[in-house]
A and B are shown apart, each in its own frame.
Chain A
């Protein structure tokens, strides 16, 4: 039996510590991991819980992130609860096996502490790694602060292990800003967390020898398409399950999560869309702009990046006239991926609002309240003019001359 780890009603935890406490309370059986800045403390902490008897699991420190996810797959197929953490280059090295984990429908939880991808080498937070995983078939949820990193990690096990979902889940938090900043966190009691997360009921357990299973079969043109379609349907159909688990979590914690979060959106003419720590900055900027300039500004945050909440985004943006979508990843010759999702959703709306794209914060570059105000003010200028007055895609808070691309026909 594990030694009881005492938690207070209020703790001062950073995002990494918060995530590791969720792993402890979820009684994760096996963590297979490789260290990388800034996510290392999550798995280090799990290792220390094992070392001090606070958990009856095993920590396998392997020789690479590829092996870490490979081990997670083997351990998960062996029927227990599995989690790990990574960032950036480590995430990139995992990519081959991320697709294998989702294709085998294994309920692994991966805490991703978002960090830029090299080159140039950079250890700070942006969303390049998160975007790299966007077609991998994993559910991807974003935490904007340490509390959310804890809460969503607990919810992630429930979602992943739900028998109608059976998909791996990533919980993202911003490198350093969330992962290394100590904040007030209100954890559940150990009992309440254990009760909420429950015990895993494995499907296709490799250690149930009364029913042998073959994992990782080959399918060619005769069956591959059907398998991938079924997998896509599973992630698209996971939305009500996620909503139900968020609702259940609210019952026990008082904290409400939605796949799309809205702030000051009731009467908004303009809005900024983002995720991660940017959301809190944007909320302050929108409020101040309302007071200072009377601009009816709102903020929309994407909690659930995959499955992407197209309907909810469209509904939440009804009545908004100009929308700034922010992408914290170098788009590599296109509009930002996040922009494309939102623009796709809004192309099906009656009002067809203006949608613009802002690339920001690469490699941990700060996005200030003033930067957000500028972005929102530009949206108001679009509303006033009746057309997009700027380049469709702009770089925000970049050194040197203005960088923008793709003029609209009316400008």
Chain B
């Protein structure tokens, strides 16, 4: 049963698994929640690709696989290319009638972490979107190279300490702003892009379904809190996600056809950046008096971004 008709979490927990629980992701990792939701939000057949990263190394270690569907991983950078070429092959074979089941509906999905999406695989992602392949790309954004020990990526926010943007007496951690991947992918003219989060699981399922049903390349950035590198207790993953969405550090919104922006979630009580940052070890150093200005900057960036999103939603541009 696809997640479409699922009313509550209890029911959700009993949906069919095409993504099996037996994997080696860290306890508390949000990746598996997001992936499972995607896999269960459609009854169609799925061809899934993955870039190298936490998800890939944890779900297909020979002789085991967590994937009860067609799955392919090549390298760090090319999941968008492999799955979009498979989609073209499907088109050709359907036309020629050489498929095992010529009428079975199929959806094509690529997963990448933020390192492979924002950095090393960006060219492949951009190319596949420019070519207008009919597939959905989902970024599992945990804001660092978690699989290789927590190095900074271009998704790492200002102020975070990572193993290659180390906070100390002379540094407050990463100096540069996070790349706005959602805007970049919308600028490709993609029919549907969105930023979603697993704590708002119904919104996420709806966004996934919209992407799968929309013809053409769709991009979804999902916040995937990483207890190992963000430094919080594994049991707190959903709580941290709540802080991420309610502080508007991760605003949830969608953009249709490159410009029609809809805000998907308006927190009743917007919490401060300080509250979000304070819950994670990676920002601990910011609470020293000398780095107070960084927290202020993060708060200002959040406020500016939220104002911009609301203006865009209102103006429909």
User: Do A and B come together as binding partners?
Assistant: yes
Chain A residues within 8 Å of B, Cβ to Cβ: 29-30, 32, 56-58, 60, 62-64, 66-67, 70-80, 82, 96-97, 100, 199, 205-210, 212-220, 223, 227
- Size category of the B interface is 35 or more
Task: Flag if B93 contacts A218 (CB, 8 Å).
Answer: no
- Which B residues lie within 8 Å of A82 (CB)? 89
- Distance between Cα atoms of A6 and B67 in the complex (Å): 47
- Which B residues lie within 8 Å of A223 (CB)? 62-63
- Distance between Cα atoms of A277 and B3 in the complex (Å): 62
What are the 6 A-B residue pairs with the smallest beta carbon separation, nearest first?
A74-B82, A63-B127, A71-B85, A216-B73, A70-B78, A78-B89
Interface residue B221 (Cβ < 8 Å from any Cβ of A): no
Task: Flag if A213 contacts B71 (CB, 8 Å).
Answer: yes
Task: Flag if A74 contacts B84 (CB, 8 Å).
Answer: yes
Most buried by B among A29, A70, A75, A82: A70
Residue in B86, B99, B104 whose beta carbon sits within 8 Å of that of A77 in the complex? B86
- Distance between Cα atoms of A64 and B128 in the complex (Å): 11
Task: Flag if A207 contacts B93 (CB, 8 Å).
Answer: yes
Task: Flag if A60 contacts B88 (CB, 8 Å).
Answer: yes
Task: Flag if B70 contacts A70 (CB, 8 Å).
Answer: no
Q: A207-B47, A207-B99, A207-B106 are in contact. Are A212 and B68 (CB under 8 A)?
A: yes
Q: A60-B88, A206-B86 are in contact. Are A80 and B74 (CB under 8 A)?
A: no
Interface residue B316 (Cβ < 8 Å from any Cβ of A): no
Most buried by B among A32, A97, A218: A218
- Which B residues lie within 8 Å of A76 (CB)? 89
Task: Flag if B131 contacts A206 (CB, 8 Å).
Answer: no
- Which A residues lie within 8 Å of B143 (CB)? none
- Which A residues lie within 8 Å of B90 (CB)? 78, 207
Interface residue B164 (Cβ < 8 Å from any Cβ of A): no
Q: How far is the CB of A51 from chain B (nearest CB, A)?
A: 15
Task: Flag if A97 contacts B78 (CB, 8 Å).
Answer: yes
Residue in B65, B82, B95, B124 whose beta carbon sits within 8 Å of that of A217 in the complex? B65
Chain B residues within 8 Å of A, Cβ to Cβ: 45, 47, 49, 56-57, 60-63, 65, 67-75, 77-78, 81-86, 88-93, 95-96, 98-101, 104, 106, 123-124, 126-127, 130-131
Q: How far is the CB of B17 from chain A (nearest CB, A)?
A: 13
Task: Flag if A56 contacts B71 (CB, 8 Å).
Answer: no
- Which B residues lie within 8 Å of A210 (CB)? 100-101
Task: Flag if B85 contacts A206 (CB, 8 Å).
Answer: no
- Which A residues lie within 8 Å of B47 (CB)? 78, 206-207
- Which A residues lie within 8 Å of B106 (CB)? 207, 209
Q: A74-B49, A74-B85, A218-B61 are in contact. Are A58 and B123 (CB under 8 A)?
A: no
- Which A residues lie within 8 Å of B127 (CB)? 62-64, 67
Query: Which B residue sits closest to A218, measured CB to CB?
Result: B61
- Assuming A30-B88, A206-B70, A207-B93, what are 18 further A-B pairs, CB within 8 angstroms? A29-B96, A56-B96, A67-B123, A70-B77, A70-B82, A70-B85, A74-B72, A74-B84, A78-B85, A100-B74, A207-B86, A207-B89, A207-B106, A212-B71, A214-B60, A215-B72, A218-B57, A218-B60
Task: Flag if A207 contacts B92 (CB, 8 Å).
Answer: no
- Which B residues lie within 8 Å of A30 (CB)? 85, 88-89, 92
- Which B residues lie within 8 Å of A220 (CB)? 61
Could you show 12 A-B contacts with beta carbons less than 8 Å apart?
A: A32-B85, A58-B91, A60-B88, A66-B124, A71-B85, A73-B82, A74-B85, A78-B89, A80-B98, A209-B101, A213-B70, A216-B73
- Which A residues lie within 8 Å of B86 (CB)? 74-75, 77-78, 206-207
Residue in B62, B65, B69, B78 whose beta carbon sits within 8 Å of that of A67 in the complex? B78
Q: How far is the CB of B32 from chain A (nearest CB, A)?
A: 16
- Distance between Cα atoms of A219 and B68 in the complex (Å): 19
Task: Flag if A80 contacts B69 (CB, 8 Å).
Answer: no
Query: Which A residue sits closest to B76, measured CB to CB?
Result: A96
Task: Flag if B85 contacts A209 (CB, 8 Å).
Answer: no
Task: Flag if A70 contacts B75 (CB, 8 Å).
Answer: yes
Task: Flag if A212 contacts B70 (CB, 8 Å).
Answer: yes
Query: Which A residue sits closest to B100, measured CB to CB?
Result: A208
Q: How far is the CB of B113 from chain A (nearest CB, A)?
A: 15
Task: Flag if A71 contacts B73 (CB, 8 Å).
Answer: no
- Distance between Cα atoms of A234 and B237 in the complex (Å): 47
Q: A62-B131, A97-B78, A218-B61 are in contact. Are A206 and B72 (CB under 8 A)?
A: yes
- Which A residues lie within 8 Å of B60 (CB)? 214, 216-218
- Which B residues lie within 8 Å of A57 (CB)? 92
Most buried by B among A62, A82, A97, A220: A62
Residue in B67, B82, B88 whose beta carbon sits within 8 Å of that of A212 in the complex? B67
- Which A residues lie within 8 Å of B95 (CB)? 56
Query: Which A residue sits closest to B60, measured CB to CB?
Result: A217
Q: How far is the CB of A203 from chain B (nearest CB, A)?
A: 13
Q: A56-B96, A78-B85, A207-B89 are in contact. Are A217 and B72 (CB under 8 A)?
A: no
Q: A78-B47, A80-B93, A208-B100 are in contact. Are A216 and B74 (CB under 8 A)?
A: yes
Residue in A60, A74, A79, A219 whose beta carbon sits within 8 Å of that of B131 in the complex? A60
